[in-house]
Structure 1
């Protein structure tokens, strides 16, 4: 059972989401104000947050900015009536893990919640106790989101950090583009999209060209 924070000021929607999550066996807490939601999110008491953008107090973008600025890696699914490309990009680049426009079906939100919670589970062979992942000269500090390569600090965006994390958690294993899309982006892209290849290129430039190997016809593998 996960403890999920719902920050949503539309009572009907908040109730609908909370009812569904509780039926799935989760504990759900609802708040209707951005400032209060941020305080709750920073408390360390939650496994995931469902966050609206149009909130009193602080809007969702400000909540995300302050949350990530204080080092929180709490998974966030943005749920909003704003569905423009600009808003989607702003939310994702601001640190959201997923983005769902209203109106929506609960089954879709349910699938995304399950995906994000599954990602919190330790990979095979990992006892989940470590806050640091290391391999191939790369070091990720999961709580502080500090990154270094070869002992030198590196700045990664939220999306780059998430991609580096899944590579390090599965170092030595071949991960397909579809697996990386599912784990890092969590929503459907155009099948012809090259977003994974683009972000792998970003990581190679920042972490070292030797760190990620292309396995022709299969995907990518992080080298120890």
Structure 2
């Protein structure tokens, strides 16, 4: 059962939280590896590379943000951050460092298990039809089946959510979407913090725009949200 869904590394300094999360994730069919601090998390990550990391922000010593930063130097593994209610700055900082999702404490373990499954489902998604296996715009190319992106022939290091967002933009080029629309269509959230979208758009621009301050591809539509403007127009 666990092998079917993959291994999740759960990092939290609270033993009770770790135990509750472990039981719910195992019940949902995941193998679970636990770590009580940042250093142990990095050791476990190397010893048994997981399919996804659940990472608490506030930990003594090496914080969750520190761990997220170190993981992103070498890995695009999906990361779900655990942040306390009211810790908006930490939540945004986690997204800026490349976290894919977050759950706010106090949280429902069932909700966390559903979020984990959702993120992994998107990370493993492949295009169902050959005609939709690749998206491109000029020197920007996305292989949907391999979940690989390149710009001018060079690999782009995109997180799961960044890849999904870019794929959505390319598929719906020329159409403006609000942040609420994007939360629903890319994240699958009926509610959520719209700054999640803002931060991911900013990170995406830093990776695909020659000048992120004057974007050519991902345009801001004032009063609405964002629109993808193709470099190559048909």
Q: Say whether the fold is shared (TM-score over 0.5).
A: yes
For residue 123 of structure 1, report the CA deviation from its aligned partner: 3.2
Q: What is the number of residues matched between the two proteins?
A: 208
Listed as ranges, the matches of 1:44-193 within 5 Å are 45-70=49-74, 72-81=75-84, 83-125=86-128, 135-136=136-137, 137-139=139-141, 148=151, 151=152, 162-163=161-162, 165-168=164-167, 171-173=170-172, 177=178, 178=180, 180-182=182-184, 183-184=186-187, 188-189=192-193
- Output the CA distance in 1 between the equivalents of 2:15 and 2:117: 23
Helix, strand or coil at the partner of 1:120: helix
5+ unaligned residues in a row in structure 2: which ranges? none
5+ unaligned residues in a row in structure 1: which ranges? none
| Corresponding residue of 1:39 | 43
Q: What's the Cα RMSD here? A: 4.4
Task: Return the TM-score normalized by structure 2.
Answer: 0.67
Distance 1:139 1:172, change over 3 A: closer
- Output the CA distance in 2 between the equivalents of 1:194 and 1:106: 21
Q: Which deviates more, 179-188 or 45-54?
A: 179-188
For residue 65 of structure 1, report the CA deviation from its aligned partner: 0.9
- Output the CA distance in 2 between the equivalents of 1:106 and 1:173: 34
Listed one character per residue, the Cα deviations across residues 17-68 of structure 1 (whole Å, up to 9, x for unaligned) are: 0000011111111111211212333457211111112334521111011111
Listed one character per residue, the Cα deviations across residues 80-125 of structure 1 (whole Å, up to 9, x for unaligned) are: 3363222222111122112223211112212211220111122324
Instruction: Give the helix-richer structure, 1 or 2.
Output: 2
Distance 1:135 1:19, change over 3 A: same
For residue 152 of structure 1, report the CA deviation from its aligned partner: 8.6
Distance 1:210 1:31, change over 3 A: closer
Distance 1:203 1:34, change over 3 A: closer
Does residue 206 in structure 1 map to residue 209 in structure 2?
yes
Helix, strand or coil at the partner of 2:77: coil
- Output the CA distance in 2 between the equivalents of 1:63 and 1:24: 26
Task: Return the TM-score normalized by structure 1.
Answer: 0.69
Listed as ranges, the matches of 1:18-29 within 5 Å are 18-29=22-33
Give the counterpart of 2:17 among 10, 13, 18.
13
Tell me if the contact between 1:135 and 1:168 (Cα under 8 Å) persists in the aligned partners.
Answer: no
